[in-house]
Structure 1
């Protein structure tokens, strides 16, 4: 048991330092405006911490969107492989991994932002929880004085360290319940936004789509059940993180949608209306602009190659017979004709 505790401490200690440093940096700003002991200063500091964490995760978020988009577009090909190798699970797995490798798609990339956020979530949870239960224990840069301020800070009549299950006060429970509902709703809407706006119709069927639909309803339910035990400060963190994800995802889907989706058709209409307002002509079809254009380009018949020009004497001789010796097409008698 001590071995696992030492490993946990080895992992969490740097997180405590990093999170407390960012948190106190924001608290220095908001504390100077609203007062160091006020709840609003600490809540805004938690929101500032969320913004910093999510800004650092932008590259992973972009990778997540690309991976999720590729997984959606590959579903028809995955279905073909399943129909072809469904009787041989090992061969199907090999061909599927080969397809992912050729298209540079990592099916696990969509989970990276959530996985990386979980240690941050746990570290913040521990900072808030222990600041209320045992402020004498210093974690990261949180001193005993800061722990007492953090644990006792009151926002809208509730302590930041309070949770729905840790108090009997009606006002605190109402605030905690509202935040749990907000956290659950934003989790659901974020996933639904991706499925309804940026998934082709043929990607809404199959195992991957079923997995996404399962997460659409199960993940918010998990957060709703677990959320009643989260401190109010942690609920602010997770709700703010979900709102950031919604905004970031809306921007990506609006400006770079997957082909053959509702978002893609909406972007085509917006671009068309924008060109009409400016009086610009319609752009020429581009083979790489859409799957339809690409398919048209791939099926376009190859143009017939024109034969090379020949002299009158060469045409009289006709095509060379196989195995016949090659002769110089321009003989001294024909120089006058070819010159």
Structure 2
């Protein structure tokens, strides 16, 4: 196995050694100590930055999977109870077409984990062979890349709360090693569970949370299986590997929290909270809400698509162009001295000045708001007149 992983082991050792050199350069103590622990954390961050494009692809695939759930459930209901080979084949073909339509596949969410696994095992083998490298008896190699015998001794002597980085629960009788291993396994399980819970509870539409949804069933199954998996496998790994695993889980949790907050799935609880925050911000600035703006924009787009055009203005109603002025809104039938509402109305219907759709929608919204206020004031005034006339009638 080491022969296959050797290039990755050299790469992992190179990253760790250079991060350690940088940490010493900025003032951390050289030799055994916290700098080597932080170098493993730095290795984790370095790997996560490298696979950032895969994370973006994972998020897009996850959103596509969530959006296609209603269509997927309809497809499953369509072929429910049909077990013949022809029906099964047609179902698979239609399902593949559905995945292509939404640009996703059920394995995209596994890509970051699959890419990290070789790095994970390479770090495992590097830490497992520190003793052999330190004594010069590692399979004919006197070092693993830049990780020489002297540096291997330093890593081996570095500790996390008294537990050496190269020690594991199964190969050490020290209480500190066993205690640190148990705490890290609990941290790994909790962070992994919360990461999955964020997706299933906050970033899924209500229609996808049904127990009939296979994606939801598999998500809940993984939330149960992963802590058990960590409990059985974590006792085999060195403290340094557990540091790597906890760090990558924390990174994933934070990365996912930011993504769900800023780019939630449509129809999810996270999207409702994001829209509420945005509407509150808009209200403070005196802007229309997202719903009002979207409704106005849809109306504007509907008018454009319906083929409506501006009605021509009669010559006797057009304002003459003042001498010495350049062609502008007056030439298009807009009076510069007229109120802003009139100019905005012509702009919204004809777009002669080149306003964007957002500006057209905003002006239309403002004009309608003013019209509503004027109508309310008129009704109020009319009501007061009626009250006065009724009082006069009673006196008579």
Question: Structure 1: 5+ residue runs without aligned partners?
Answer: 307-339
TM, length-normalised to structure 1: 0.80
Give how far 1:140 is off: 2.9
User: In structure 2, how many angstroms separate the alpha carbons of the residues matched to 1:303 and 1:155?
Assistant: 69
Residues 310-321 of structure 1 mapped to structure 2, 5 A cutoff: none
Shift of 1:83: 1.2
Residue from 148, 151, 158 that aligns with 1:143: 148
Indicate the SS of the match to 1:65.
helix
Task: Summarize the Cα distance change of 1:13–1:133 in structure 2 as closer, same or farther, 3 Å threshold.
Answer: closer
Q: Displacement of 1:221 after TM fit? A: 1.6
SS in 2 for 1:286: helix
Q: Is structure 2 residue 56 aligned with structure 1 residue 62?
A: yes
CA distance in 2, matches of 1:273, 1:55: 34
RMSD across aligned positions (CA) = 2.4
2:11 alignment counterpart: 18
Q: Which runs of 5+ in 2 are unaligned?
A: 310-396
Summarize the alignment of residues 237-252 of structure 1 with structure 2, pairs less than 5 Å apart. Answer: 237-252=244-259
| Inter-partner Cα distance in structure 1 for 2:24 and 2:12 | 17
Task: Pick the aligned partner of 1:220 from 219, 222, 227.
Answer: 227
Q: Check conservation: 1:23, 1:49, Cα contact below 8 A.
A: yes
- Write out aligned runs for 1:237-276 (5 A): 237-276=244-283
Q: For residue 211 of structure 1, what is the aligned residue in structure 2?
A: 218
Matches within 5 A, 1:1-339: 9=3, 11-32=4-25, 33-86=27-80, 87=82, 88-132=87-131, 135=134, 136=136, 137=138, 138-205=143-210, 206-283=213-290, 284-286=292-294
Shift in alpha-carbon separation, 1:276–1:214, aligned structure 2, 3 A: same
Could you state the TM-score of these two structures normalised by the residue count of structure 2?
Answer: 0.69
Distance in 2 (alpha carbons) for counterparts of 1:101 and 1:67: 11
User: Per the alignment, in what secondary structure is the counterpart of residue 229 of structure 1?
Assistant: coil
Larger radius of gyration: 2
CA distance in 2, matches of 1:61, 1:303: 42
Distance (Å, rounded) in 2 between the aligned partners of 1:227 and 1:67: 30
Any idea what the Cα deviations from partners look like across 1:172-218, whole Å, max 9, x if unmatched? 21112111111111111111111111011111231111111111111
Task: Measure how far apart 1:158 and its partner are.
Answer: 1.5
**Bigger mean CA offset, 142-151 vs 41-50:** 142-151
- The structure showing larger relative contact order (alpha-carbon pairs under 8 Å, at least 6 residues apart) is 1
Aligned length: 291
- In terms of mean alpha carbon deviation, does 133-142 or 90-99 score higher? 133-142
Contact 1:132–1:152 (8 Å) recurs in 2:
no
Deviation at 1:248, TM superposition (A): 0.5
> What is the CA–CA distance in structure 2 between the aligned matches of 1:97 and 1:285, rounded to whole Å?
37
